[in-house]
């Protein structure tokens, strides 16, 4: 290498070192606390949203015929109501036993709430009333039926008052299922769920007594259930003849079992197995099947154990 070429190389190296030394150094981004999460827009106002989007269950949105201005729906107004004669009895669902509270105003819990919509709209609730996704109602495993609760979204402080008239939820460690409108007012319809604080409200019986007298509980028969009735259980047959089932829950009331059955049908939609009811030992039981043998049923019980958190019982009918 001649002297001139060596000089050119030295000048080029010096230029590169100067450029590198003067370039800004990118520092790693450090946050002392999580970045705030933007509020989700209601399904009806999200750009490009399709009717029926959102919801805890896929496709369980409000539908195209949802009433206007649902976010201005008044909260439920607490009033003294007699307890339902059947919906407040102890019951078992998905391997857990629940004992409903005897009185309102003694419950406060923080956890995840979800909502349920058109897949249950028009179905019977545990109280026997028809579920209206556009009302201000909720389902809870143990709060008295009927009763009232204040539900506050912890992220925003927004709160609503709902009337509890149904049982659930039973899966995914949620503490309450809200009607679509209640969830919309809290701003959790887009995500399908959100952290809330649920506090039971005790109605003042002395103040509310005139309301009860003016609006007595109706005792006339409810309209026919639009959902297809479960087929009567098959006669008892020998094991291995297709009369082997797995039990998911047991209830003392027919209405409670029917409400639970509706929820389980939505959870197990597309599984290829049928869910139904049968009565045994004064209990209405919810089962899934049939299976061709006890071995097949036990194998499926193991699979459901991972999904449900408990192992269903093998039953022969």
| pLDDT tens, position by position, 197-239 | 999 998 764 333 333 333 333 333 334 444 444 444 433 333 3
Q: How far apart are CA 100 and CA 229, in angstroms?
A: 27
Give the alpha-carbon dihedral of 85, 139, 186, 37, to 10 degrees.
Answer: 150
CA distance 91 to 168: 12
Fold for the domain defined by 51-208: Barwin-like endoglucanases (2.40.40)
- DSSP-based three-state secondary structure for 34: coil
Q: Helix or strand or coil: residue 205?
A: helix
CA 260, 261, 267, 271: dihedral to nearest 10 degrees? 160
pLDDT at 112 (0 to 100): 96
Residue 92 and residue 310 in contact, taking contact as beta carbons nearer than 8 Å = no
Residue 102: φ, ψ to 5°:
-85, -25
Torsion of the alpha carbons at 180, 59, 193 and 308, rounded to the nearest 10: 120
Asked if 269 and 296 count as a contact pair (C-beta separation under 8 A), the reply is no
Could you read off the pLDDT of 111-146 as tens digits, one per residue?
A: 999 999 888 888 899 998 999 999 999 999 999 999
Count of positions (residues) in the chain: 317
What pLDDT score was predicted for residue 144?
Answer: 96
How far apart, in whole angstroms, are the C-alpha atoms of residue 132 and residue 129?
A: 9
The class that CATH gives domain 244-316 is: alpha beta
- Structure pTM? 0.58
CA angle 287, 289, 55 (to 5 degrees): 70
The predicted structure's pLDDT at residue 64: 66
Cβ-proximal residues to 106 (8 Å cutoff; 6+ apart), any chain: 200, 202
Is residue 313 within 8 Å of 244, Cβ to Cβ? no
In the chain, where the domains are located: 51-208, 244-316
**Within the chain, which residues score under 50 in pLDDT?**
7-8, 10-56, 205-241
The confidence score (pLDDT) of residue 45 equals 31
- Token representation of residue 83: 């307890």
Contact present, 80 and 211 (Cβ < 8 Å): yes
CA distance 41 to 283: 44
Report how far residue 143's alpha carbon sits from residue 104's, in angstroms, rounded to the nearest whole number. 7
């Amino acid at each position: 290498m001649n002297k001139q070429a060596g000089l050119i190389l030295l000048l080029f190296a010096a230029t590169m070192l100067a450029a590198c030394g003067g370039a800004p150094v990118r520092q790693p981004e450090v946050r002392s606390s999580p970045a705030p999460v933007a509020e989700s827009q209601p399904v009806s106002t999200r750009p490009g949203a399709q009717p029926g989007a959102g919801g805890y269950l896929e496709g369980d949105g409000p539908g195209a015929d949802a009433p206007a201005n649902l976010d201005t729906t008044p909260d439920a107004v607490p009033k003294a109501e007699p307890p339902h004669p059947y919906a407040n009895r102890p019951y078992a669902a998905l391997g857990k036993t629940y004992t409903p509270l005897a009185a309102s105003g003694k419950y406060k819990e923080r956890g995840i709430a979800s909502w349920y919509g058109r897949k249950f709209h028009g179905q019977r609730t545990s109280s026997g009333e028809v579920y209206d996704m556009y009302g201000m109602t909720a389902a809870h495993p143990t709060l008295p039926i009927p009763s009232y609760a204040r539900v506050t979204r912890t992220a925003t402080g927004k709160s609503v008052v709902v009337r509890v008239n149904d049982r659930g939820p039973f899966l995914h460690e949620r503490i309450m299922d809200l009607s679509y409108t209640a969830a919309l007012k809290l701003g959790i319809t887009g995500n399908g769920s959100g952290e809330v604080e649920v506090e039971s409200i005790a109605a003042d019986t002395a103040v509310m007594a005139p309301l009860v007298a003016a609006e007595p509980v109706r005792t006339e028969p409810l309209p026919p259930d639009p959902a297809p009735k479960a087929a009567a259980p098959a006669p008892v047959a020998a094991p291995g003849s297709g009369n082997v089932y797995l039990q998911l829950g047991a209830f003392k009331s027919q209405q409670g079992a029917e409400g639970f059955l509706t929820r389980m049908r939505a959870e197990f939609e597309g599984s290829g197995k049928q869910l139904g009811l049968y009565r045994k030992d004064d209990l209405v039981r919810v089962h899934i099947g049939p299976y061709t043998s006890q071995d097949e049923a036990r194998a499926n019980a193991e699979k459901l154990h991972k999904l449900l958190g408990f192992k269903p019982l093998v039953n022969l009918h």
